[in-house]
Structure 1
Amino acid sequence: MLKKYLKPLPLPAPADWGVLLLRVGMSLLMMQYGYAKLHNYLSGERGFADPIGIGEEASLVLTIFAEFFCSILLILGLAARLALIPLITTMLVAALIIHAQDPFDKQEHPILFLIPYLTLLLTGPGRYSLDKVLFG
């Protein structure tokens, strides 16, 4: 029954191009942050914030997973809604926990990623995605 509510509505062609642009554009921007963290991690730098109490390294690995690997899935439109969950969670933690005491200009950056991610969660990956090719 839940599957019925998760099916994306049919979109006209310009909207599908818009969803593709949003999906790929946001993912390419986010990948830059994830790649930098991945590079630092592979270089031996493990220091990172521990906002939810699971340890610095675990927090870093989960953030790298979201920002880099989930962004790749989102670019491809593969398991897009599932890939959005870690991205949304990471941006919520950044905005509401990491930058909770900071002025709005520090919270604004993760919120600017969060809004398109929530939009994509609602719309789905669109017609031009591997999800559409593989699962119809």
Structure 2
Amino acid sequence: MPPFVTPLFNHLDRVGAWGADLPLRLFLAWEFYESGLEKWNGQNWFADIQSAFPFPFNLLSADLSWQLSMWVELIAPLLLLLGLGTRFATAALMVLTVVAIAAVHWPAHWSSLAELAQGYAISNKGFGNYKLPLIYLIAALPLLLNGAGRFSLDALLFRRNA
């Protein structure tokens, strides 16, 4: 490796230790908060899909499901921005996303992996539409596994309590 690369990588390592998670937190916070605002300003359409919700969420009323999903999508992103309760907020958003995939984004009918793969798209052509929610799940996974990182209220509180 050229000699100038090592100091550059060392600097990137120091910056990464403080803020590598920040782009994920910002991205997920924006996407989920935007969805929560749509629910806040919109009408409850969950009654149309309540039967598609996986157990135990299919046992809740459509109104309660709507309220739960809206508040999770409004509060958890704020927690992600602050890096406060990051693993809890991320887990809540991941559960919400899995339910959304099952109820809305998964293909209604498929008989082969080729047909299922057609749902891995960002479109509305009748094959499902699970690509974007899957991207959200994958982006959330590092936050669930590693927490918010050093540039967060979680880290500040943990240092004070340690």
Using structure 2 for the length normalisation, give the TM-score: 0.68
- Structure 1 moving runs of 4+ over 6 Å: none
Distance 1:15 1:93 in 2: 33
Give 3-state SS (helix, strand or coil) of 1:104's partner.
coil
Unaligned runs of 5+ in 2: 1-12, 109-118, 122-128
- Deviation by residue 1:86-125 (Cα, 9 ceiling, x = unmatched): 1000111122342222522211111111111112101110
**1:101 corresponds to which of 72, 83, 107:** 107
1:71: Cα distance to partner?
Answer: 0.7
Larger Rg: 2
**2:138 corresponds to which of 85, 110, 115:** 115
Residue 72 of structure 2 is matched in structure 1 by: 66
Give 3-state SS (helix, strand or coil) of 2:75's partner.
helix
1:134: Cα distance to partner?
Answer: 1.5
Distance 2:17 2:24 in 1: 10
Distance 1:104 1:95 in 2: 11
Aligned length: 122
State the percentage of identical aligned residues: 30
Residue 87 of structure 1 is matched in structure 2 by: 93
CA RMSD of aligned residues (A): 1.7
Residue 18 of structure 2 is matched in structure 1 by: 16
1:125 aligns with 2:123: no
CA contact (8 A) 1:77 1:130 kept: yes
- Deviation by residue 1:28-63 (Cα, 9 ceiling, x = unmatched): 1221111111122xxxx3332322321211111111
CA contact (8 A) 2:149 2:155 kept: yes
Distance 2:136 2:83 in 1: 17
1:69: Cα distance to partner?
Answer: 0.9
Residue 28 of structure 2 is matched in structure 1 by: 26
Residue 46 of structure 1 is matched in structure 2 by: 44
Using structure 1 for the length normalisation, give the TM-score: 0.80
